[in-house]
Amino acid sequence: MPGVIWWLLVLVGCLVVGFVAVAQVKKWVTTPEETSGAGFSLSDLRALHKSGKLSTEEYEKTKTLIVEAAKRAAQREAEEKAEAQKAKTRRPPGADRLPS
């Protein structure tokens, strides 16, 4: 009888460890990546400038490039959204004709 209890405890322990492992893998898989397409955020850039790793000239030039890229991305996203909306509201040819 003590052998059965021992194996039941081992089985329960394996189940608990398996459950925790599956939960961790699921959490890891469903967590979105927190990277931006730009590579640097403006706060990263400010920190580099403040620490002296970037000169003021480099800081201003890079800041301008990042802001322009963000504006282009926002404009492209707005255009894609407008096209999608336009495609939704398009009516197929002949839709204006009344059935006879």
DSSP string for 22-81: HHHHHHHHHSPP---TTSS-HHHHHHHHHTTSS-HHHHHHHHHHHHHHHHHHHHHHHHHH
Q: What whole-number distance in Å separates Cα of residue 21 and Cα of residue 46?
A: 40
- The pTM assigned to this predicted structure is 0.46
Residues 6+ apart with CB under 8 A from 38: 66, 69, 70
Q: What's the rounded Cα separation, in Å, for the pair 29 and 23?
A: 10
Per-residue pLDDT band at 2 (split at 50, 70, 90): confident
Q: What one-character DSSP code corresponds to residue 99?
A: P
Q: Could you read off the pLDDT of 39-89 as tens digits, one per residue?
A: 678 888 899 999 999 899 999 999 999 899 889 999 999 999 988 888 777
70 in Cβ contact with 38 (< 8 Å): yes
Give the separation between CA 19 and CA 32, rounded to whole angstroms: 22
